[in-house]
Amino acid sequence: MQFTSLDFALFFAVVFTAHWLLPRGDGRTCWLLGASILFYASWSIPLAFLVCATGLLNFVVGLCLDRLGKTSRQVDELKSPHPTDGPNPVARQILLITSITGNLGLLCYFKYANFFLDSLKSVLVAQGVSSQIPVLDILVPFGISFYTFEVISYTIDVYHRRIRAERNPVRFLLFILFFPHLIAGPIVRAGDFLPQVDRIGRLSLMRVGLGVRLFILGMFKKLAISDNMALFSDPVFDHPDLYRGSALGLGLLAFAIRIWADFSGYSDMAIGCAHLLGYRLTKNFNFPYLALNISDFWRRWHISLSTWFRDYLFLPLGGSRGPFITTVRNLMVTMSLAGLWHGAHWSYVLWGVVHGLMLVLHRGFSILVRGYPRMVWALDTIPGKFARWAITLLLIVLSWSLFQPDLTRSITLLQRLFTWAPGEVLPMTRFYLWVTVGLVMVGHLCASRRWMNRIWKRTPAPLGGLVFALLLICALVLAPSRNRVFIYFQF
């Protein structure tokens, strides 16, 4: 059930109506949970059971962690910097480790088993050992990477007593299974989501208006921008050996726009749906292609994932507090795992490594530049900022070549791009690609400015209605004949 399908429109209309007709309290929570399970079961009933079962298991683990700490009543006052304080520190640690290992184990089994087996097979073959390692026939649960990270963050937060364990299984399962964020995020934190369950009051027209606007904007990004850009990028990514250097460059540029429009469009639609139901989800994108450096990019791109990695991996590893070499190690470990999170292929790992290296280089450069005030000044001028933006964007676009499940094709693409190899041209008219690039960049520049918000607030309601009605019509009219699923559904 894609967000852009009629099935979803009907499903959401029923959920929305019943949700606001029901009295406040558990009835609404149960209704939303039931709808979320149905939403997931529309893909696979057994996997819906699996997600519910693992969710309940994590719910029990949270309760046990709380009980073993025996300090749940004093959570707010305690604020202990030593989470192992309490009567059962070892038992709590064991429980935490078991829970994290179990969740990651499930993720590894479903998502990475064949990847590891394939890699093992390749190593054995390279060593001259013949092997009969089978390929497992595993159906990967949708959104497993997202909800696994959500339950891990919950368990760690309970362990560290940042939040109390949830006592109501329905509320807890709703946190995991809430359908707007279930399949492809944003990755929500229990501390942000669970308090909202009690606060759902009356239907707010302002929130409905905001939700509708976000949903339409997301739909436009997906159907009018992303799906059309796929027409340019798909042939190039499928057969990089056939196309000439210039076509590969354009395909890569189209992919950069496509992946932004696809994922940020999905996030907008998810956040919009949540608003319509009275919930607020984490912001996931903040005009990433306006980033002035790679660190800035990661503060703007897939924010819920990057902050998750920062809070639960990078900082516990030591962050950037120690010597430079420790920071390098921490960055490389974090980004490699972030790459692996995206897909069970070496190309994704390499993508993460490349981003890790870019972050390291940026950090080194920042340290180096501090000793040269004139350089700092020059980099802060308009030409300096433009140069930083252009270099960052170029590197990000180039790195997208690795964002596909085939390392050989990525290497071929880059090789042919840099050697400006001869070959076929793109069979489509480039004019529309450039129009889209221009529109996206202008849209980024305008929408990121504060005055844009002020203008919107001053815009008369009829004009606002007209703009969004046109956006929706354009999305439906411009959608190409072949619908494509959201890219991040595969993760």
State yes or no: residue 235 binds other proteins (CB under 8 A). yes
Site for other proteins in 179-218 (CB under 8 A): 204-206, 208-210, 212
Query: Of the two residues 90 and 205, which places its CB atom closer to other proteins in the complex?
Result: 205
d(CA 439, CA 434): 8
Neighbours of 488 (CB within 10 A): 20
Q: Which listed range, 1-9, 14-22, 125-133, 341-349, lies at the site for other proteins (CB under 8 A)?
A: 1-9
Q: Is 1 in the site for other proteins (CB under 8 A)?
A: no
Tokens matching residue 109: 């089994």
Q: Which stretch binds other proteins (CB under 8 A): 52-60, 145-153, 158-166, 239-247?
A: 239-247
Closer by beta carbon to other proteins, 15 or else 225:
225
For position 443 contacting other proteins by CB under 8 A, the verdict is no
| Residues between 456 and 485 that touch other proteins (CB under 8 A) | 457-458, 461-462, 464-466, 468-470, 472-473, 476-483
Q: How far is the CB of 434 from other proteins (least distance, A)?
A: 12
Of 193 and 232, CB closest to other proteins: 232
Concerning whether 444 is annotated as a catalytic residue, the answer is no
Residue of 172, 178, 232, 486 that binds other proteins (CB under 8 A): 232
| Residue among 380 and 424 whose Cβ is closer to other proteins | 424
| Candidate ranges 3-11, 13-21, 366-374, 390-398; the one touching other proteins (CB under 8 A) | 3-11
Tokens (6 digits) for 233: 């990028």
* Count of residues engaged in binding other proteins, rule: CB under 8 A: 47
Q: Smallest distance, Å, CB 461 to other proteins?
A: 4
* Among residues 192, 238, 296, 406, the one that binds other proteins under rule CB under 8 A: 238
Cβ distance to other proteins smaller for residue 188 or 236:
236
| Position 489 contacts other proteins (CB under 8 A) | no
Q: Which of 121, 160, 162, 239 binds other proteins (CB under 8 A)?
A: 239
Cα–Cα distance measured from residue 119 to residue 68, given in angstroms and rounded to the nearest whole number: 41
- By the rule CB under 8 A, 322 interacts with other proteins: no
Pick 438 or 480: Cβ nearer other proteins: 480
Confirm or reject binding of residue 78 to other proteins (CB under 8 A): no
The dihedrals phi and psi of 31, each to the nearest 5 degrees, come to -60, -45
Say if CB 249 and CB 426 are below 8 A apart.
no
Nearer to other proteins by Cβ, of 231 and 396: the residue is: 231
Stretch that binds other proteins, among 12-20, 238-246, 332-340, 413-421 (CB under 8 A): 238-246
Range 397-436, binding other proteins (CB under 8 A): 424, 427-429, 432
Q: Smallest gap, in angstroms, from Cβ of residue 417 to other proteins?
A: 18
Q: Is 326 exposed, middle or buried (0-12, 13-18, 19+ CB in 10 A)?
A: middle
The nearer residue to other proteins, 4 or 401, going by C-beta atoms, is 4
17: contact with other proteins by CB under 8 A: no
Query: Which member of 342, 345, 355, 362 is catalytic?
Result: 342
Nearest distance from C-beta of residue 472 to other proteins, angstroms:
6
Smallest separation (angstroms) from other proteins to the CB of 446: 19
243 forms bridges with which residues in the sheet?
424
Among 37, 163, 182, 231, binds other proteins (CB under 8 A): 231
Which of 80-83's residues contact partners 24+ apart within 8 Å by CB, and which partners? 80/161, 83/159, 83/160, 83/161
Closest approach of other proteins to the CB of residue 460, in Å: 9
Of 37, 33, 95, 39, the closest CA to residue 63 belongs to 95
Q: Is position 332 an interface residue for other proteins (rule: CB under 8 A)?
A: no
Q: Which is nearer to other proteins, 73 or 482 (CB)?
A: 482
Applying CB under 8 A, the residues found at the interface with other proteins are 4-7, 9, 204-206, 208-210, 212, 228, 231-232, 234-235, 238-239, 241-242, 424, 427-429, 432, 454, 457-458, 461-462, 464-466, 468-470, 472-473, 476-483
What is the set of active-site residues?
A: 342
